[in-house]
Structure 1
Amino acid sequence: MTTPDNGSGQGSAPAAAPGETRNVRFAHPGSQYFAVLVSLLAAFYLISNIAATKQMDFGGWVVDGGVFLFPLTYLLGGIISEVYGFRAAMRAVFVGFTVMVVGAVVFGLVTVSPALGDSHNQEAFEILFGWDGVYIRILVASLIGFVLGQVMNSVVIVKVKERFGESNLWARIMSSTVFGQVADTFIFGLIAFTAFPLFLNVLPGVDLFVMMSWTEFGSYFVFGVIYKCLVEFLLFPVTYGVVRMLKNREPSYGIVS
């Protein structure tokens, strides 16, 4: 059930989802703005995971190729949670999840398809995108980390919004980023790069290998969390501007009952 926002003149909002209570404002996720945000989140997520197959050394800190775009997925997730609510944010996460799974299936089919006789790239392609290759391991790690991290990100934003209302947007965004990025970075790095999942080697056709030592993992985790939170902090003016624009332009933005 929805009720009009008598104080704002901005219309009504959909019924509350789990984690959303009375007097909390959200917009209905049926607009073109929501579609654009979800599309960007899914695209950034897919590109980041392909880029993450390469590890890099930034001044002694171990990072992966997802460092350039992946922080923006949390910025987008935060905007969606703030404007459209928890349920809409989980819908966006599901879209990103589905895109990654479809991508993995397509890459796998391309890998097992017969190559031209003079193709010199088949072995490299199998190492990168094969079912037991680097990409699949990173995919599994990313899906688990991304879902848990984004759920935490959204829950924190919604809970803080329930407590403080429309004020203290910076507190919602920054606190949710810290919790979400800590969970995501730790889970992703642990599964994707360390010896932790090597027990899977007992399965037929699976041959995992260690991509990072525990020391390198520690460096990766610390730098990753600090860097991603710093990006979120530096881009907060952009986040604030986008959130304000969406709240003003979404006619359904109102109080959830």
Structure 2
Amino acid sequence: MTARAQPTHGFRYYDFLLGGTVAVLLCSNLIGPGKICEIHLPLFGMFSFSAGNLFFPIGYIFGDVLTEVYGYARARRAIWAGFGAMLFATFMTYAVLNMPAANDDYNRALQPALETALGNTWRVVVGSMVAYWVGDFLNSYVMAKMKVWTQGKHLWTRTIGSTICGQFADSALFYPIAFAGLWSFDAMIGVILFNFVFKVCVEVVMTPVTYKIVAALKRAEGVDTYDTDTRFTPFSLRDEGDVRTRA
């Protein structure tokens, strides 16, 4: 059975997924990039990575689930909510860092620590926001289109295929915007390729988890959304798509 688009407030779990998406995005941009971690891998030796990568599997599960269950239009709302939250967090971080600190020992020590941890350059901020906006919209678009093409079959092709497209755009945009002229060309290409391959591999590993969450949500919500009549513009907040009611 097929019905017209159901308003987002008619779903039981959509708001929780939207809130989770925003929370993961803020954490990955505020507390993740400032720390480089090192672990020892057998046969490979020391392995370094940004702590922000820890949030990627969770964030992309949210993105895949939102598009697969609720459709592109509702995933679009979540992407804009995340983008707005990033803008607000960036503005408030700038405001807090530039307010005069109290003249005591604690705050004199705290101010430079906050500037080190949170004081990203404008290029890093712009790069993060542009890469997020383009990468997430591309991920959702490819996944929604592939669902229609495959008639809802072979979910793994959509989760991995959309990640390949979205993460390539994300990495190819962020690092040049943030570090061009500071890093050598070879170093930048190496970092872009490493992060791209790493995130695609993580998506492959996490696909069984995505399968379970998607199946559970489709049963709980009683819907399965196909974007057959959706306008695939990023610049809209309308609910669209055909909602196929599950028996």
Fold shared, TM-score > 0.5 on shorter chain: yes
Q: Are the structure 2 counterparts of residues 13 and 252 from structure 1 closer, same or farther at C-alpha, using a change threshold of 3 Å?
A: farther
User: 1:189 & 1:109 partners in 2: Cα distance?
Assistant: 26
Which residue does 2:33 correspond to in 1?
Answer: 52
Instruction: Kindly tell me the number of residue pairs found equivalent between the two proteins.
Output: 218
**Most deviating of 57-66 and 148-157:** 57-66
User: 1:121 & 1:156 partners in 2: Cα distance?
Assistant: 45
Offset of 1:126 from its aligned partner? 3.2
Which residue does 1:41 correspond to in 2?
Answer: 21
Which residue does 2:8 correspond to in 1?
Answer: 29
Deviations 1:42-62 (A, max 9, x none): 111111112113345666776
Letter in 1 for 2:204: F
Letter in 2 for 1:218: I
Which structure exhibits the higher relative contact order, with contacts defined as CA atoms closer than 8 Å and separated by 6 or more residues? 1
Gaps of 5+ in 1: 6-11, 15-26, 196-209
**Most deviating of 141-150 and 216-225:** 216-225
List structure 1 runs of 4+ shifted beyond 4 angstroms: 55-62
Q: Are the structure 2 counterparts of residues 29 and 135 from structure 1 closer, same or farther at C-alpha, using a change threshold of 3 Å?
A: farther
User: 1:137 & 1:46 partners in 2: Cα distance?
Assistant: 18
**Most deviating of 54-63 and 42-51:** 54-63
Equivalent position SS for 2:13? helix
Equivalent position SS for 1:69? helix
Letter in 1 for 2:20: L
Letter in 2 for 1:126: E
Q: Are the structure 2 counterparts of residues 238 and 167 from structure 1 closer, same or farther at C-alpha, using a change threshold of 3 Å?
A: same
Matched, 1:70 2:78: no
Offset of 1:85 from its aligned partner? 1.0
User: 1:153 & 1:168 partners in 2: Cα distance?
Assistant: 17
Offset of 1:180 from its aligned partner? 0.4
Letter in 2 for 1:29: T
Letter in 2 for 1:36: F
Which residue does 1:80 correspond to in 2?
Answer: 66
Which residue does 1:123 correspond to in 2?
Answer: 112
- How much is the aligned-residue C-alpha RMSD, in angstroms? 2.3
Equivalent residues in 2 for 1:124-163, closer than 5 Å: 124-129=113-118, 133-134=119-120, 136-163=122-149
Offset of 1:127 from its aligned partner? 4.6
User: 1:104 & 1:254 partners in 2: Cα distance?
Assistant: 34
Q: Are the structure 2 counterparts of residues 32 and 189 from structure 1 closer, same or farther at C-alpha, using a change threshold of 3 Å?
A: farther
User: 1:193 & 1:63 partners in 2: Cα distance?
Assistant: 17
User: 1:188 & 1:72 partners in 2: Cα distance?
Assistant: 20
Equivalent position SS for 1:120? helix
Matched, 1:230 2:196: no
Give percent identity, aligned residues only. 30
**Most deviating of 140-149 and 46-55:** 46-55
TM-score (norm 2): 0.79
User: 1:53 & 1:189 partners in 2: Cα distance?
Assistant: 15
Which residue does 1:114 correspond to in 2?
Answer: 100
Letter in 1 for 2:178: A
Letter in 1 for 2:19: S
Deviations 1:19-74 (A, max 9, x none): xxxxxxxx653323111111111111111112113345666776422111024322
**Contact 1:78 1:154 survives alignment (8 Å):** yes
Which residue does 1:205 correspond to in 2?
Answer: none
**Contact 1:149 1:183 survives alignment (8 Å):** yes
Gaps of 5+ in 2: 40-44, 227-241
